[in-house]
A and B are shown apart, each in its own frame.
Chain A
């Protein structure tokens, strides 16, 4: 860090996002026009059973009415943890039905599966394994539209996908600018039917993305702007989204917050909260949003105790988490602790309103699993982006505090 003279601007950063964002009422209706501009008329829809049963695919199909765009096929059997087997199965349908583009409707699993299908089709392969890692893709991808149905993952604007390979027993990660969708469509109809607990968990997932992006080592002015806007939207809307799910304005605000958080963390990356949450999900099958929600305050407390620099970033987060009045009324020395308290206020209220767990023990994690979760944490890719070194004992300490 010999170049670095001060903290005014990072000595170096990269930011990339090429996704066109369409947000608002009747936003779905614009998809055929946008696909037409990309030369596509016959998309395959990739989704899961839950989304199909909630009638969300019908919204999309109906929105294509009066156009010459034809739905080539609808695959609605994407499992919770998608695999290369499912990806190859969908690719076979895509080819057999002469599709020319992909529409993903759903949460992280459906979107990641669709990204996998796009790799298989565009690279003309059936072996995803050889594209694992960063920057291995070389071919231009097929036109790809994402319609998120959960306001949390931000996958509609991220350049990463995780797909399991059960045969080799590995979770394959793909990172490339090329897998970014061409279009992300946020329509309040698509998140209106989300149950309160999932609304709470996915909203907290988005909050974790934005907070970790804001304090991470790849922090930069572009990501900061997106993260700050996301945090303010979540602060103002998450409780209402849980208590009044039919409020379309609030639903749209949360969908935008998740997208903004996705833009921030896709470039700025995440740290110990995500690393421990991934490990907790992998070992104890705790949903990702719930694990993030539980671990976020404890991860921040770990940083506060270990790094004065990160503590400084958390202090400035109070402005967005609690608003300008609270920020100016709080002495600088107390701001970091108050920022964590502001997050706890949100999670405690969400627990009251939707039953969202605030401790690992409430989420089905048993104490004997903590050591293996800590061990797995150290192998998670996110830990490389923790602003401080994390030992096994420290990861275990965070997990025990959250237990």
Chain B
């Protein structure tokens, strides 16, 4: 039999790769939301219906996050900030769930159905944010990949291709800056 002192505490690993990937995808989504507000009329309509200084946080419990703020006619991606208040917060229960969702192995609707993520704050605004995220994902991803993320992928139009190019450009510019 082992002595009491032989029993050591075990500190689980950090899951650095999953955290890095999730952080990168959150950057794409944040920049995508910021760009979509400028170029997509559906997103603009949704965001304009929210109150001024409305804030939205997407986060992982104990992990990375992204913060969006509607202010003075813009919808800004403010990166990973420590925030004390957000009007709506969409939280993944752990980094693994966020990583699987971000990499398309669990669709966003399935993450909601399975309770792998949850919403804090008004569910009415939560619904509106989900609609915005759906559009953003169609801007960020080619249709054959977007089908892993959302329930119904809209038909690809010339306008969509142009908007997608603008989004990619803005994200690249944001990354360099």
- Chain B contact residues: over half helix, strand or loop, or mixed? mixed
Question: Can you name the residue of chain B whose Cβ is closest to the Cβ of A170?
Answer: B122
Which of A132, A170, A173, A384 is packed against the most chain B CB atoms within 10 Å?
A384
Interface size class of B (residues with CB under 8 A): 20 to 34
CA A381 – CA B122 in complex, angstroms?
10
CA A12 – CA B127 in complex, angstroms?
23
CA A364 – CA B148 in complex, angstroms?
42
Q: Is A71 an interface residue (CB 8 A)?
A: no
CA A11 – CA B113 in complex, angstroms?
11
Q: 11 more A-B contacts (CB under 8 A) besides A2-B148, A12-B116, A381-B127?
A: A2-B105, A133-B120, A133-B122, A133-B126, A135-B118, A173-B123, A217-B110, A218-B113, A218-B114, A378-B131, A389-B151
Which of A13, A134, A218 is packed against the most chain B CB atoms within 10 Å?
A134
Check A378–B148 contact: CB distance below 8 A: no
Q: Is A333 an interface residue (CB 8 A)?
A: no
Q: Is A17 an interface residue (CB 8 A)?
A: no
Q: Give the number of A-B contacts (CB < 8 Å).
A: 70
Q: Which residues of B contact A132 (CB under 8 A)?
A: 120-122
Check B127–A384 contact: CB distance below 8 A: yes
Within 8 A of B (CB), among A370-401: 378-381, 383-385, 388-389
Check A134–B120 contact: CB distance below 8 A: yes
Q: Is B63 an interface residue (CB 8 A)?
A: no
Question: Can you name the residue of chain B whose Cβ is closest to the Cβ of A173?
Answer: B123
Check A13–B114 contact: CB distance below 8 A: yes
Q: Which residues of A contact B89 (CB under 8 A)?
A: 133
Q: Which residues of B contact A175 (CB under 8 A)?
A: 118
CA A136 – CA B120 in complex, angstroms?
7
Check B114–A133 contact: CB distance below 8 A: no
Within 8 A of B (CB), among A160-193: 170-173, 175
Q: Is A7 an interface residue (CB 8 A)?
A: no
Within 8 A of B (CB), among A207-236: 216-218
CA A11 – CA B110 in complex, angstroms?
10
CA A173 – CA B126 in complex, angstroms?
12
Q: Is B136 an interface residue (CB 8 A)?
A: no
CA A389 – CA B152 in complex, angstroms?
6
Residue of B110, B113, B127 near A383 (CB, 8 A) is B127
Question: Can you name the residue of chain A whose Cβ is closest to the Cβ of B125?
Answer: A379
Q: Which residues of B contact A383 (CB under 8 A)?
A: 127
Question: Can you name the residue of chain A whose Cβ is closest to the Cβ of B150?
Answer: A389
CA A216 – CA B155 in complex, angstroms?
26
